[in-house]
Structure 1
Amino acid sequence: MSALPLLGGLSAEEFLADYWQKRPLLIRQAIPGFMGLMDADELAGLACEDSALSRLVIEKTGPEGSHWQLRQGPFGARDFRKLPDSHWSLLVQEVNHFLPEAWDLLLRFGFIPFARLEDLMVSYAAPQGSVGAHFDSYDVFLLQGQGRREWRISAQTDLALVEDAPLKLLKNFQAEQSWVLEPGDMLYLPPRIAHHGIAQDACMTYSIGFRAPSRAELLGGFLDYLHEQLQPEGLYSDPDLPLQAHPAELSSFTLDKSRAMLDALRWDEAMFEDFLGRFLTEPRPHVVFDPPEIALGLAAFSKILKQAGSIELALPSRLLYRGQGFFMNGEATEISPADAASFSSLANQRRLELPARLNRESIGILHAWHRAGFIVLSD
Structure 2
Amino acid sequence: MDIQEYTRDTFDTKVFFTEYWRKKPLYVRGAAADFLGATWSVADFDAALACARAGGHNVLEREGEVTFIEDVSRFHEGLAAKTARFGALFGTPGTWFDTVRTHTPSGIGSHFDHSDNFVLQQQGTKEWRLASPGHIDRQDIARRMMEVPGVGAHPLPPEPEHQVCFTLEPGDLLYIPLMWLHSGVSHADSLSLSLVCPAVSLQTAVVPFLTQVLKHRMTGHQPIPAFHAGLSSEQREAVAAGLHKATRALIERMSDEAVLEAVTALQREHLTAADHQQAGGE
In the alignment, does 2:40 pair up with 1:36?
yes
Q: Is 1:224 matched up with 2:243?
A: no
Which residue in 2 is equivalent to 1:12?
13
Match of 2:143 in 1: none
User: How far apart are the structure 2 equivalents of 1:185 and 1:121?
Assistant: 16
Given the alignment of the two structures, is residue 129 of structure 1 paired with residue 99 of structure 2, yes or no? no
Tell me by how many angstroms 1:130 deviates: 0.8
When residues 27 and 257 of structure 1 are mapped into structure 2, their CA distance, relative to the original with a 3 A threshold, is closer
Any unmatched runs of 5+ in structure 2?
1-7, 141-148, 225-233
State the TM-score, normalized to the length of structure 2: 0.68
* Count of aligned pairs between the two proteins: 241
State which of 203, 209, 222 in structure 1 corresponds to 2:196.
209
Distance change (3 Å), C-alpha of 1:257 and 1:94 = closer
What is the aligned partner in structure 2 of residue 296 from structure 1?
none
Inter-partner Cα distance in structure 2 for 1:235 and 1:169: 45
Q: Partner residue of 1:138?
A: 115
Measure how far apart 1:49 and its partner are. Answer: 3.0
- SS state of the match for residue 145, structure 1? strand
Asked which structure has the greater RCO (Cα within 8 Å, sep 6+), the reply is 2
The 1:125/1:143 distance shift into structure 2, 3 A limit, reads same
Distance 1:144 1:38 in 2: 12
Residues 121 and 206, structure 1, Cα contact 8 Å, conserved in 2: yes
* Map of 1:184 onto structure 2: 171
Q: Retained in 1: the 8 A contact 2:131–2:156? A: no
Distance 1:35 1:183, change over 3 A: farther
Q: How far apart in 1 are the matches of 2:27 and 2:153?
A: 23
Cα displacement (A) at 1:42: 2.2
2:153 is aligned with 1:169? yes
The structure carrying a bigger helix percent of its residues is 2
Task: Give the Å deviation of 1:134.
Answer: 1.0
Q: Specify which of 105, 126, 129 is matched with residue 152 of structure 1.
A: 129
State the distance in 1 between where 2:241 and 2:84 align: 57
Equivalent runs, 1:1-379 vs 2, <5 Å: 8-31=9-32, 35-39=39-43, 40-50=45-55, 52-56=57-61, 58=62, 83-84=63-64, 86=65, 89-103=66-80, 106=83, 109=86, 112-116=89-93, 118-155=95-132, 157-159=134-136, 168-174=152-158, 176-232=163-219, 235=222, 248=237, 259-264=248-253, 266-274=258-266, 277=269, 321-322=273-274
Larger Rg: 1
Preserved contact between residue 133 and residue 173 of structure 1 (Cα < 8 Å): no
Counterpart residue type for residue 123 of structure 2: Q
CA distance in 1, matches of 2:79, 2:110: 27
Report if aligned partners of 1:52, 1:94 keep a CA contact under 8 Å in 2.
no
| 1:82-116, Cα deviation, whole Å (9 max, x unpaired) | x24x3xx2221222233222146557747734544
- 1:193 maps to a residue whose letter is W
Letter in 1 for 2:14: E
